[in-house]
């Protein structure tokens, strides 16, 4: 099942092996349990973590995570809502977007 049918230009076909990849960003005050909270949401919804990078910049926690939604039990919009709610709970900003959108927004 293609989780990204609503993306502009996405015909619903799976021509690319990366078509199910998403980028999750997490930014906010550092605290215990951030990675556990995000990864729990992903695991509960059969979303596989492919790569993760996190650092502390002064007192801020910054994480970028690449995940695969190929076997996900939810749509991207629902995942975005779950992560946003968790972010509010943790007083952080947590967002998810399709890899293609992320790449388009961050090109030079």
CA distances from 78 to 29, 44, 59, 84 (A): 25, 13, 30, 10
- Going residue by residue through the chain, which has 108 residues, state the pLDDT in tens, using 9 for 90 and above: 444 443 333 334 344 444 799 999 999 999 999 999 999 999 999 999 999 999 999 989 999 999 999 999 999 999 999 999 999 999 999 999 998 776 666 665
**What CATH number corresponds to the domain at position 48?**
3.30.70.260
Q: What pLDDT does residue 70 have?
A: 96
What confidence score (pLDDT) does residue 103 get?
64
Residue 94's domain spans which residues?
Answer: 21-105
pLDDT at 10: 39
**Is the CB of residue 65 less than 8 Å from the CB of residue 38?**
yes
Domain count, the chain: 1
């Amino acid at each position: 099942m293609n989780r990204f049918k609503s993306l502009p230009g996405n015909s619903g076909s799976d021509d690319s092996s990366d078509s199910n990849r998403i980028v999750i960003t997490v930014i906010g005050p550092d605290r215990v349990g951030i990675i556990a909270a995000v990864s729990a949401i992903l695991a509960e919804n059969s979303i596989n973590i492919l790569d993760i990078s996190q650092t502390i910049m002064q007192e801020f926690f910054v994480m970028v995570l690449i995940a695969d939604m190929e076997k996900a039990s939810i749509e991207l919009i629902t995942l975005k809502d779950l992560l946003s709610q968790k972010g509010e709970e943790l007083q952080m900003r947590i967002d998810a977007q399709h890899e293609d959108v992320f790449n388009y927004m961050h090109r030079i």
